[in-house]
Amino acid sequence: MVVNDLGKIAVIAGILGALLIFGLLLQTPEPERALVASDQTVTEEPPPEVTVLPPMSLELLDPIYSEKAVFHDDTLRIAFNASFVEDGVQSRLPFWLHNVSDDVITVLWDRCSIQLPSGNTFNVVSESAMTTFVPGEAISVAPTGDLFDAVIPVSEIDWEAEGGPDISTGVFDQGTFTFVLAIERSAGLTSCIEAPPSTLAPRRGAATDAMQWHDATECAEAANPASAQGGAMPQSAREIVYYTFRFIIR
């Protein structure tokens, strides 16, 4: 009985040994991974520091405060903006002007100016006229009409730059700056006709550059000398108003 059991164990062991040998023959050895020695030391660089600056905007300080740099009265509505480029704030003041009056208004470029943060005052040139700028140029805007343009101090334009005129940067954001806008508009004739007669010479108004005539005949001759002889009265008079806008970029 013991012999038979030993025989069975031997048979089973032989079968298991054969299976083991067969399995080893079928197994494909994995290729050894070559280890490459490197003398170079990898140094991790810290990520670049990124400084996030708060967004800057143009604010109107005078004649009223406006966070959006918008002003309006009975003559016009005007909105200004800053000109941001890769190099900073450009010395250029874009604006949108809307004529809200019932008569034509005229922008007198030769009477406009900008006072820079340094305190120096310069004439301006409109962006639309940079290539054909002639002193004394003006543009009229019809009732309900719009004008989209920009003003640039003549001191901040490099006219001889390669590729055309180049506008400076880093000036307007150094402090407050002021833009003087000269507008010619209708003045009406009510005060002219109803004023008491006078033989005095005309005088200039305190708020405008309009001529305030005290004699109806003189008023007619000033507006239309040819028709004044026949007694015809002029339909309207013109005056020049100076708007002073003070800004800051922050």
pLDDT along the chain (250 residues), means of 10: 64 72 64 55 73 78 97 97 94 97 96 97 90 70 96 92 89 97 85 44 44 49 52 70 97
Helix extents (H) in the chain: 2-26, 190-194, 216-223, 225-228
Q: What is the pLDDT of residue 44?
A: 75
Q: Top-level CATH class of 58-185+241-249?
A: mainly beta
pLDDT at 3: 54
Q: Would you state the pLDDT for residue 32?
A: 56
- Cα angle 186, 187, 188 (rounded to 5 degrees) comes to 100
Q: Give the pLDDT of residue 189.
A: 58
The C-alpha R_g of the chain, in whole angstroms, comes to 42
For residue 155, what pLDDT is reported? 95
Q: How far is CA 79 from the centre of its chain?
A: 11
Domain ranges (residues) in the chain: 58-185+241-249, 190-234
> From CA 73, how far away is CA 88, in angstroms rounded?
32
Q: Which residues contact 202 (CB under 8 A, 6 or more apart)?
A: 211, 212, 213, 214, 218, 222
Distances (CA, A) of 70 to 76, 162, 240, 246, 249: 11, 35, 21, 12, 14
Which pLDDT score, from 0 to 100, does residue 48 have? 77
What is the spatial distance between Cα 85 and Cα 7, in angstroms, rounded to a whole number? 97
Whole-number Å distance between alpha carbons of 40 and 62: 65
Q: What is the pLDDT at residue 222?
A: 55
In this predicted structure, what is the pLDDT of residue 18? 72
Chain centre to alpha carbon of residue 45? 38
- Phi/psi for 189 (5° steps) reads -120, 5
